[in-house]
Structure 1
Amino acid sequence: MLAILACYLAEVLYYFSRSMADGEYQAPHHAAIRCLGMILIWIPLTSSLLTAETAHWHPYFGAFVLQFSFETITCLMRGRGIGLSQDNRYTNVPLAIGAVRGFNSLLLAIDASFILVSRVSEKGADEEGQSLLGAPQQNGNADYGSIPQSDSDDEEFQDGNKEIKEQQAKRLEEQGGWFGYIKSFAIFLPYLFPRHDWRVMLCLFLRLLNLLSGRVFNLLTPRQLGIITNKLSSGTNVMPWKDVGLWAFYNWFHGYSGLGIVDSFADTYIRNSAFERITMLAYGHLMTLSMDFHTTKDSGEVLKAVEQASSLNQLIEMVLFDIIPVLLDMFIAMAYVTVLFDSYMAFIIMFMGLAYVWIGFKFTTWSQPHRRTYVERQRTENNTVTETITNWATVAYFNRVPFESDRYRSNIKSTIWSHYQYFFRSLGGHAVQDLLTTLAFSACCIFAISQIISGKKPVGNLVTFIMYWGTMMSPLYTMSYSYRYLSSTLIDAERLVQLLNTKSTVSDAENARDLVVKAGKVEFKNVQFFYDPRKEIIRGANLVAEGGQTIAFVGETGGGKSTMLKLLFRFYDVTGGSIMIDGQDLRSVTLSSVREALGLVPQDPALFNQTIRQNVRYARLDASDAEIEDACRAAAIHDDIVSFPDGYNSKVGERGVRLSGGQLQRIAIARVFLKNPKIVLLDEATSAIDSTIESQIQGAFKKLSAGRTTFVIAHRLSTIADANMIIVVDKGEIIERGTHSELLEIGGKYAELWTKQTAGNTSPADSNSTNGDVNDGVLIDITPDEDDDSAKTTGRSQDGNNDSVERRR
């Protein structure tokens, strides 16, 4: 193949040297163009075969056969035309070179045919020993579609996108390659360019108009300057006002002050409109996903998917308004330069353009791993700052400011070094490309000047070409570096697609109706549930809570108490049995109506970084200020709030960190008072409240529970002694049930827990005691081991049985 390429180069050099030696000689135009065109074909063909690890020989075999047939016909026609005359020694050189090419192509075709035959025979002989799933891949990596799997030095930094890339590779295979893969994103076009939005359609029309007019004015502007130059060089004494006016008009209309500002406004409007629709699509879908998604998915990846939702818009815009115009500009440039001078200059530009794009692609590929490393080091550096600022108190507790400063300085140096490695490689690519364009521009100008000197072309054509050069370079730069941008944009778009393809495990059934709560009767019928099929969490739970009753769940850590409340709130659907409210299966009613009818005070409440008034009003958005204050009085938090300098307008900080544990929990209780739900769930609602406040809260709870079905998870058993029914849960099973006095009489698990909590203060016989003193060493932590989602959400230890006030950070 190198011999064939060398023969074409030799023939071009022959024509060039003979033209230089003989001023009257003109090389056959068709022959020179054919050689230049074949060089453009054989360079990538040869490069692909030399660099391929495992070549697919079928297309190469076809190329060799075609080359042999073409050269044979050409040599026969050329030999017949010159009659094999020996009089002129120059005449036989192209024929001899063509014969050498034909002979080499014949050898290549024969060699490729032997390789194909041998591979077929090897495959047939080895067929019975092959695995049904094909050849095993080392390290478990498989190649899909058009994406090669390869190792790199920065493999450890690619784990974040590994899952996304695997999904991308799978979809590439399913779509049949890149064209089908990119085409699959067309389903989002209605969100990017909705037909019903006439403003977006108008802006899209203006953008397309600017796109088409830009291609025209890219030619007219330098051409008009060339016309002016020709008139001036002709020796005229008349000012060409008309031509100058047209040139100024073209510059204005095509510039930013003309159609450019309209295009910029249209682009901005389309981007913002698409960003709103796509981002809300992603955010709305994310908020409807069930708890199992939010507790198992990396929050950074989820946030990135929502934040980078506009990548779909960028992808579509890049294809429509960048890549397609670039291809149009390249074809127009080749044709226009051919008109200005001839096809030789067009081939010079084509050679330069292909080399420019190839260099950009190679240097981008070379520098991309280092860029990825640089980005990851930046992320590590930012994470260090975030962690140390967020955990400032921990740093201060252990006096580790010098240690953290050294760690941060080390991260900065690592980031800078990674930036140097990426930057110098990228800079080298720019330098090589600039050298190439300088050489190509000089060669084109020399060729143009030679034609002007010989009188074949006017000087205005040179001016036109020089002005048009910048127009040709811009698309080349875009093509050269669009690979990296396209790759990263596709990763961002794929991340969003994967998010939108995620289905919620808890969703409304078809024809689901709103929940209607009258009496508030709740039934658990043989309820079973597991997070992981290998470990069942709830086993055959059965209970009936009549309307207005208070049901308390007690038990040791990991028993499944909080899981029952999550099932009732329908964060998860039961895997067996059913949960009924007033005879309505929770799976047959809408999620929105279920959560509107229930009110929950969580063990670890979290507030928004807004004012206290805004946080309480979140429970009922149309509540008045007076209703908010009444709810806070009921929750025994009003006096604390008015003592703050800004009162109800005080900001609570991120997740409520500026409030104490008891204040934070009472704000959560106030929310439920304001919501005034039919069914109330209290998950350790008084765990962070001292004994003085507890008596006030208990009184408020009695008011709140009146006429409402209430479910309570108790930390201090004294707080649930008056419950209508106490359910003792152990390892997912209900082992005891009854009132406080009935369970004490049984002398089972509940009596054991009561004895541990009241040791030294009261006796089991004193069943009406409500002493809140609790032994710190044996408190009942309600955070279950099996509730991995809770652990991941709060990030807290599951082993601590410390006093409830100390359980908040």
Structure 2
Amino acid sequence: MMRRTAPDPSPAPSGARSDDWATLRRLMPYLWHYRWRMAVALTFLIAAKVANVGVPLLLKEMVDSLSIPVGDPRALLVVPIGLLLGYAGLRFSTTLFTELRELVFAKATHGAARQIALEAFRHLHALSLRFHLERQTGGMTRDIERGTRALQSLVSYSLYTIVPTLVELTLVLVLLGTRFDMGFVWITLGALLAYGLFTITVTEWRTQYRREMNELDSKAHSRAVDALLNYETVKYFNNEEFEARRYDDGLDAYRRAQIKSQGTLSLLNSGQQFIIAGSLVAMLWRATEGVVAQRMTLGDLVMVNALLIQLYIPLNFLGVLYREIKQSLTDLDRMFTLLEREREIADAPGARPLAIEHATVRFEHVDFGYHPERQILHDVSFEIPGGKTVAVVGPSGSGKSTLARLLYRFYDVDGGRITVDRQDVRQVTQDSLRRAIGIVPQDTVLFNDSVRYNIAYGRTSATQAEIEAAARAAHIHAFIAAQPRGYDTMVGERGLKVSGGEKQRIAIARTLLKNPPMLIFDEATSALDSASERAIQGELASAARGKTALVIAHRLSTIVDAHQIIVLESGRVTERGTHAELLASGGTYARMWKLQQSGSGERSMPEQTVPAT
């Protein structure tokens, strides 16, 4: 028998991705769709940088023009008006081109972010049930949130800041080398080299602290979300302070990581400013010497000073830019790891839609275990003839609900196969298989929306009349109509505003509305009182008439009319037959029936209903 090894549900640590270029290559297809906008935006930003570098040249000409003799009328005309108009024009051009770049580029940035966030959302829904059961939702959603923000930052910084900044630095170096001497160029290049090496080295070193900070943030957030989702359980056991302490422990660990990260950031900033200050002193000293030796004019000194300021801004920003890119790559790493996670349950190559003829379901020598070391089902074989009802009973943990999960193909069998009309469920598309099955689960979870929305979820195109018909069939229409907001009544987070019985009735109505050829009732009436159970049992029997139904039951009185009853113990089929045949055999089923009929397993008092608000 072949056994499947359960995959590790946690993504690889961020440090495992040593090549940041791989992340950038992974990002490029999302941006290529907006390539023309990217080109136009890049043109605008380069124009803004050219205008920005033109300011020092204008200042030099204006300062040198001050040599006009005192009292010359040209002084009033040329110097103040020319300086103001030229300066204002260049500054306005810088702002104008920058804003045009933002306007053109906005659609590309937000469009790519939307596309990748949607892809992540769809991919998470495509992953197996095993993955979601073993992941903490709070941490996973935080990873996606941070990754989406990082994507926008990374695209903006890397694509539309690096190239223009390099253009600006090139223009400055060309001006210094052609108008003066190569000494200015070598000082500038030396400062750039020292600045770049220091920034890259320290940033690479401190990335580990950023990664640790992210992990602790996700962990604290997961604890908070988990506690809030399980609000009632926390209250039941008076564990508010316990949960608060756990959350505070996570926040405290996050705070310590933040302080450590901030300390390394301060070291990085101080070192960068020291390198820049040293280069400024060297450049100004050389320019001052040139003025004293009359190799340079006063306007040249002003221009060098202005160019240094122009150079200082992008230099400083390049440091911030590199840090932001590294941090964004760290944040994107987790989201891309989720996107690259292989689907454990995927459609086979060439899978076709399920073709329903009789909807006959067969379990053929099925073996299965959620983990390799613990097998749940052992050589399980039985058939549900088309249009018939087969019930499965047995003690808790015997594998009854696992049968439903395998038929839905939330997991694949380890051995044997499951077929629908002789079609292996692994060889048909998951979408067509699940469209053909309706389920009323034992654990009903509702969306935090209206009763109408939750019932209509079975068939989103259903009309109000069809929704009400399904609610009547599930014996919940009267309850809904009695509420002040009727079908607009909100059920609360996971349906906590309604009782367990009402949640189960909504789940039944939802499945009845779907009206598929195959039905699964997994303890479908377990949360109902005996009176309601008897009323709904007739509706369920009517709904299952002519359909293939798998009924997983604890109360045997609900399945006495099943065409066949399977007794499952420790994952093995121990008995099978009709209700009368199993009673006559005097085995496990007969003992369970006798025990429940004596009153141990049946509830006789109606369940208290909590009104919805």
Question: TM-score, normalised on structure 2?
Answer: 0.87
My pick for the range that moved more, 632-641 or 396-405, is 396-405
Amino acid across the alignment from 2:489: S
Amino acid across the alignment from 1:279: A
Deviation digits for residues 584-615 of structure 1, max 9, x if unmatched? 33223221111111101111111111111111
Query: How far off its partner does 1:330 sit?
Result: 3.4
| Partner residue in 1 for 2:386 | 547
The answer to whether structure 1 residue 585 and structure 2 residue 419 are counterparts is no
| Partner residue in 1 for 2:13 | 164
| Partner residue in 2 for 1:741 | 580
> Matched residue of 2:419: which SS?
strand
> Matched residue of 1:531: which SS?
coil
2:461 to 601, 622, 644: 622
Deviation digits for residues 721-773 of structure 1, max 9, x if unmatched? 11111001122221111111110111111112222322368xxxxxxxxx944
**Greater relative contact order (Cα < 8 A, sep 6+):** 2
The answer to whether structure 1 residue 684 and structure 2 residue 533 are counterparts is no
Query: How far off its partner does 1:340 sit?
Result: 4.0
> Could you tell me whether the CA contact under 8 Å between 2:139 and 2:221 is conserved in 1?
no
Aligned ranges for residues 210-609 of structure 1 at < 5 Å?
A: 210-235=44-69, 237-238=73-74, 239-240=77-78, 245-255=85-95, 258-300=96-138, 302-307=140-145, 308-309=147-148, 311-312=150-151, 314-361=153-200, 364=203, 382=221, 386=225, 389-390=228-229, 392-393=231-232, 396-397=235-236, 419-609=258-448
Amino acid across the alignment from 1:168: R
Query: How far off its partner does 1:512 sit?
Result: 2.6
Counterpart Cα distance in 2 of 1:408 and 1:288: 31
2:499 to 636, 657, 660: 660
2:38 to 204, 221, 225: 204
Shift in CA distance, 410/211, structure 1 to aligned 2, threshold 3 Å:
same
Query: How far off its partner does 1:291 sit?
Result: 2.2
> Could you tell me whether the CA contact under 8 Å between 1:374 and 1:418 is conserved in 2?
yes
> Matched residue of 2:141: which SS?
helix
Shift in CA distance, 457/742, structure 1 to aligned 2, threshold 3 Å:
same
Query: How far off its partner does 1:283 sit?
Result: 2.1
Amino acid across the alignment from 2:54: L
> Could you tell me whether the CA contact under 8 Å between 2:529 and 2:603 is conserved in 1?
no
> Matched residue of 1:658: which SS?
coil
Amino acid across the alignment from 2:534: S
Counterpart Cα distance in 1 of 2:454 and 2:21: 44
> Could you tell me whether the CA contact under 8 Å between 1:278 and 1:310 is conserved in 2?
no
Query: How far off its partner does 1:252 sit?
Result: 1.4
> Could you tell me whether the CA contact under 8 Å between 2:127 and 2:345 is conserved in 1?
yes
> Could you tell me whether the CA contact under 8 Å between 2:358 and 2:421 is conserved in 1?
yes
Query: How far off its partner does 1:460 sit?
Result: 1.7
2:489 to 650, 655, 659: 650
Shift in CA distance, 306/756, structure 1 to aligned 2, threshold 3 Å:
same
Counterpart Cα distance in 2 of 1:705 and 1:162: 43
Shift in CA distance, 587/436, structure 1 to aligned 2, threshold 3 Å:
closer
Query: How far off its partner does 1:700 sit?
Result: 1.0
> Matched residue of 2:527: which SS?
coil
> Matched residue of 2:412: which SS?
coil
Amino acid across the alignment from 2:31: L
Shift in CA distance, 295/334, structure 1 to aligned 2, threshold 3 Å:
same
Shift in CA distance, 607/485, structure 1 to aligned 2, threshold 3 Å:
same
Aligned ranges for residues 42-53 of structure 1 at < 5 Å?
A: none
Aligned residues: percent identity? 33
Counterpart Cα distance in 1 of 2:505 and 2:383: 29
Query: How far off its partner does 1:538 sit?
Result: 2.4
Amino acid across the alignment from 1:219: V
> Could you tell me whether the CA contact under 8 Å between 2:12 and 2:337 is conserved in 1?
no
| Partner residue in 2 for 1:780 | none
Amino acid across the alignment from 2:460: L
Counterpart Cα distance in 1 of 2:448 and 2:288: 71
> Matched residue of 1:249: which SS?
helix
| Partner residue in 2 for 1:755 | 594
> Could you tell me whether the CA contact under 8 Å between 1:358 and 1:480 is conserved in 2?
no
Query: How far off its partner does 1:351 sit?
Result: 3.6
Amino acid across the alignment from 1:509: A
Q: Which has the larger radius of gyration?
A: 1
Amino acid across the alignment from 1:273: G
Deviation digits for residues 200-224 of structure 1, max 9, x if unmatched? 3442122220233234223212212
| Partner residue in 2 for 1:45 | none
Query: How far off its partner does 1:516 sit?
Result: 2.7
> Matched residue of 1:333: which SS?
helix
Counterpart Cα distance in 2 of 1:657 and 1:438: 62
Counterpart Cα distance in 2 of 1:278 and 1:300: 19
Shift in CA distance, 282/462, structure 1 to aligned 2, threshold 3 Å:
same
> Matched residue of 2:17: which SS?
helix
Shift in CA distance, 297/434, structure 1 to aligned 2, threshold 3 Å:
same
Aligned ranges for residues 695-714 of structure 1 at < 5 Å?
A: 695-714=534-553
> Matched residue of 1:580: which SS?
strand
Query: How far off its partner does 1:688 sit?
Result: 0.8
Count of aligned pairs: 594
Counterpart Cα distance in 1 of 2:513 and 2:582: 34
Deviation digits for residues 64-110 of structure 1, max 9, x if unmatched? xxxxxxxxxxxxxxxxxxxxxxxxxxxxxxxxxxxxxxxxxxxxxxx
Q: Which runs of 5+ in 2 are unaligned?
A: 1-8
Counterpart Cα distance in 1 of 2:142 and 2:311: 37
| Partner residue in 2 for 1:639 | 478
Amino acid across the alignment from 2:92: W
RMSD of aligned Cα (Å): 3.3
My pick for the range that moved more, 700-709 or 303-312, is 303-312
Amino acid across the alignment from 1:249: G
Question: TM-score, normalised on structure 1?
Answer: 0.67
Amino acid across the alignment from 1:165: S
Amino acid across the alignment from 2:59: L
Amino acid across the alignment from 1:721: V
Shift in CA distance, 411/474, structure 1 to aligned 2, threshold 3 Å:
same
Amino acid across the alignment from 2:567: V
Shift in CA distance, 506/267, structure 1 to aligned 2, threshold 3 Å:
same
Query: How far off its partner does 1:336 sit?
Result: 2.2
> Matched residue of 1:735: which SS?
strand
Query: How far off its partner does 1:355 sit?
Result: 3.8
> Could you tell me whether the CA contact under 8 Å between 2:391 and 2:564 is conserved in 1?
yes
> Could you tell me whether the CA contact under 8 Å between 2:10 and 2:135 is conserved in 1?
no
Shift in CA distance, 578/417, structure 1 to aligned 2, threshold 3 Å:
closer
Shift in CA distance, 572/312, structure 1 to aligned 2, threshold 3 Å:
same
| Partner residue in 2 for 1:53 | none
> Could you tell me whether the CA contact under 8 Å between 1:688 and 1:804 is conserved in 2?
no
Counterpart Cα distance in 2 of 1:498 and 1:411: 24
Query: How far off its partner does 1:391 sit?
Result: 5.1
Query: How far off its partner does 1:696 sit?
Result: 1.2
Amino acid across the alignment from 2:449: Q
Counterpart Cα distance in 2 of 1:557 and 1:190: 50
Query: How far off its partner does 1:642 sit?
Result: 2.0
> Could you tell me whether the CA contact under 8 Å between 1:580 and 1:586 is conserved in 2?
yes
Amino acid across the alignment from 1:233: S
Counterpart Cα distance in 2 of 1:284 and 1:702: 36
Shift in CA distance, 441/187, structure 1 to aligned 2, threshold 3 Å:
closer
1:186 to 25, 38, 46: 25
Amino acid across the alignment from 1:250: L
